[in-house]
Amino acid sequence: MASYSTNEFRSGLKLMVDGDPCSIVDNEVVKPGKGQAFNRVKIRNLKTGRVVERTYKSGESVEAADVMDTDLQYLYNDGEQWHFMHPETFEQMAADKTAVGDANLWLKEQDMCTVTLWNGNPLAVTPPNFVVLTVTDTDPGLKGDTSGGGGKPATLETGAVVQVPLFIAIGEELKIDTRTGKYVSRAKG
Amino acid sequence: MTQWQASASFELIRLRADTLRTIRSFFYKNNVLEVDTPTLSSATVPDPFIESFQTQYVPLMQTMQTNHFYLHTSPEFPMKRLLASGSGSIFQISKVFRQGESGKKHNPEFTLLEWYRDGWDHLQLMTEVDQLLTLLLSPHLDLGETRLLTYEDAFQEMLGINPHTANKKDLLDCTEKTGLANVLDEHEDKDRFLELLFSHIIEPALGKSNKCEQSNKPYICFIYHYPASQASLAKTSMHKGQLVAERFEVFIDGMELGNGFHELNDAQEQRQRFEKDNQTRKIMGLKEIPMDEYFLEAVGALPECAGVAVGIERLLMVMSQSQHINDVIAFPFDRA
């Protein structure tokens, strides 16, 4: 079984902690002038997203987590699972609700997503930073209002609801920042 | 920024220069002699938690016969040999080297200010450390009143246990309560548990401003009278019915700045402690260290004295409120 010694610890390293795959966020060496050295690390649980602190005796080995990021194309949702495909090998993979989480608000068929795999199975799905989605419902657009001063909610094709300027109408394509869930602009072209 | 450039700003490079000048004038004024002892040494410390860099001396035109040398981890041994020869009070500012010590507060090569006071004990030396640190820090920090706490008081105050009398079960319970369960195996030495609790729970709070308690400003904090088992090179004595080490450490803003001893001058006792260190090294699977016979002979002739070592980079970090040691070193390890 692969493992890492504390002297290999660095941000981004993937470890198994209490049976869950985790990623190191911060690593600090605690070494008194006299006495035992420790590594105090902040780790993000990749299943829950929670960040916790852990201490290891320096020199100790910790089991590595078989975690890797792959770029896959989102195909479709069958009602229970979200299906992805590798663009070159055409290998398909299905992710469940736990892995997809809030990403389902931004998943559009054909878009490339980052799928984090743990032991070969989808653990988390990260949508592209920006997606283009069509407005399926919103109050009628106000002609001539280009100031963008006010705002109104708009429902997008994925079901996500975002605040948009008053001039946006049904059927328009919008650019959304998935990290903040905010409207950026009308899609060009 | 590119790697060939300095990682410290010129403001901090200048602060280092000013700090070294202030330190030197402080000691000139107090009639403490500046000395210079070797960086390369035929022997080194056997402390199981300090690893020395090693190198070879190769005579010219000859590669067969080489001599083994260590880079010093502190100038302590040769400085004590000077004291034993009658130097009187001395100080030194030198580069020292320690394997594996790399992180936000560690660079494997760092600058150490070390000084010894002939005829003093650790309590007298603590007063002088306080004077020097106040002189250096007060132009940069609004300092609260200096605090002196015994090791026992610190544990009682922050963890509610007596570190001298607590048994393994008390310590295990304490690590559990503080979120440090399972870091150490049950069978590990009691001192490892004390070090874990001290470095994770107590140290981060020492010398730190806290609104409701002792100080709303950062302050210099001394911890003294360590357990006798952590004496290192300090004398031991009875204090409130407990054998303690006449050793202190000084902290500010949650950062350890220095370590001092009322120096052990019993050669036999010193040899026994080194032998015990080597036994521990053996158990831990580390290489044993040859005894420094020059030093061990000098210890017997060492006058009553107290000594302390202060990390200059740590001091500069506190002065400049830097979060990483690389901010105060022109070319840290990864650019050296």
Q: What is the pLDDT of residues A69-124, one digit of tens each?
A: 999 999 999 989 999 999 999 999 999 998 998 899 999 999 999 999 999 899 99
Q: What is the pLDDT of residues B284-305, one digit of tens each?
A: 999 999 999 999 999 999 999 9
Residue B185, exposed/middle/buried by CB under 10 A (0-12, 13-18, 19+)?
Answer: exposed
Amino acid A142: pLDDT = 63
Closest Cα in chain B to A52? B179
In whole angstroms, give the CA distance from residue B48 to residue B28: 36
Q: What is the mean pLDDT of residues B217-233?
A: 96
Asked whether the predicted pLDDT for residue B1 surpasses 70, the reply is no
Q: Which positions in chain A touch B281 (Cβ < 8 Å)?
A: none
Range from B187-191, B301-305, B327-331 carrying the lowest mean pLDDT = B187-191
Asked whether the predicted pLDDT for residue A32 surpasses 60, the reply is yes
In whole angstroms, give the CA distance from residue A179 to residue A131: 10
Say if CB A152 and CB A163 are below 8 A apart: yes
Q: What residues does each domain of chain A span? A: 3-63, 67-126, 130-186
In whole angstroms, give the CA distance from residue A98 to residue A119: 16
Distance from CA of A120 to the nearest CA of B (A): 30
Q: What is the mean pLDDT of residues B188-210?
A: 94
Say if CB B122 and CB B115 are below 8 A apart: no
Please report, for residues A118, B165, B230, the alpha-carbon distance to residue B240 in angstroms, rounded to integers and kept in the order given. 57, 12, 18
Look up residue B65 and give its DSSP letter.
S
Say if CB A151 and CB A163 are below 8 A apart: yes
Amino acid A141: pLDDT = 64
Q: Which positions in chain B touch A33 (Cβ < 8 Å)?
A: 249, 256, 258-259, 309
Amino acid B302: pLDDT = 98
Q: Which positions in chain A touch B102 (Cβ < 8 Å)?
A: 29
Band of the pLDDT at A145, cuts 50, 70, 90?
A: low
Amino acid A148: pLDDT = 52
**What are the backbone dihedrals phi and psi of residue B117, each rounded to the nearest 5 degrees, phi first?**
-115, 115
Asked whether the predicted pLDDT for residue B212 surpasses 60, the reply is no
Amino acid B272: pLDDT = 97
Please state, for a pLDDT cut of 90, what percent of chain B lies above it. 90
Q: Which positions in chain B touch A17 (Cβ < 8 Å)?
A: none
Amino acid A164: pLDDT = 93
Amino acid B210: pLDDT = 76
**What are the backbone dihedrals phi and psi of residue B298, each rounded to the nearest 5 degrees, phi first?**
-70, -35
CATH topology of domain A130-186: OB fold (Dihydrolipoamide Acetyltransferase, E2P) (2.40.50)
Amino acid A86: pLDDT = 93
> Do the domains A130-186 and A3-63 match in fold?
no
Domains of chain B (ranges, CATH numbers): 10-335 (3.30.930.10)
In whole angstroms, give the CA distance from residue A135 to residue B124: 77
DSSP string, A2-22: -EEEGGG--TT-EEEETTEEE
Q: What is the mean pLDDT of residues A160-177?
A: 93
| DSSP alpha helix (H) spans, B198-249 | none
Measured between CB atoms, does B280 come within 8 Å of chain A? no
Q: What is the mean pLDDT of residues B300-326?
A: 97
Q: Which positions in chain B touch A55 (Cβ < 8 Å)?
A: 180, 183, 196, 200
In total, the C-beta contacts within 8 angstroms joining chain A to chain B are 58
Asked whether the predicted pLDDT for residue B133 surpasses 90, the reply is yes
Distance from CA of A34 to the nearest CA of B (A): 7
Q: Note the CATH number of domain A3-63.
A: 2.30.30.30
Range from A40-49, A135-144, B32-41, B143-152 carrying the lowest mean pLDDT = A135-144
Amino acid A102: pLDDT = 87
Q: Which positions in chain A touch B249 (Cβ < 8 Å)?
A: 33
Q: What is the pLDDT of residues B33-83, one digit of tens each?
A: 999 999 999 999 999 999 999 999 888 877 677 789 999 999 999 999 999
Amino acid B62: pLDDT = 72
Cross-chain Cβ contact B230/A34 below 8 Å: yes
The answer to whether ipTM exceeds 0.90 is no
Q: What is the pLDDT of residues B79-127, one digit of tens each?
A: 999 999 999 999 999 999 999 899 999 999 999 999 999 999 999 999 9
User: Between A29, A32, A55, which is nearest B103 by CB?
Assistant: A29
Q: What is the mean pLDDT of chain B?
A: 95
Distance from CA of A17 to the nearest CA of B (A): 12
Could you tell me if residue B10 is left (phi over 0), alpha (psi between -120 and 50 degrees) or otherwise beta? Answer: alpha
In whole angstroms, give the CA distance from residue B89 to residue B107: 29
Cross-chain Cβ contact A29/B104 below 8 Å: yes
Asked whether the predicted pLDDT for residue A189 surpasses 80, the reply is no
Q: What is the mean pLDDT of residues B274-278?
A: 97
Band of the pLDDT at B211, cuts 50, 70, 90?
A: low
Q: What is the pLDDT of residues A3-12, one digit of tens each?
A: 999 989 999 9
Distance from CA of A39 to the nearest CA of B (A): 10
Amino acid B306: pLDDT = 98
Asked whether the predicted pLDDT for residue A144 surpasses 70, the reply is no
Amino acid B60: pLDDT = 80
Architecture of domain A67-126: Beta Barrel (2.40)
Please state, for a pLDDT cut of 70, what percent of chain B lies above it. 98
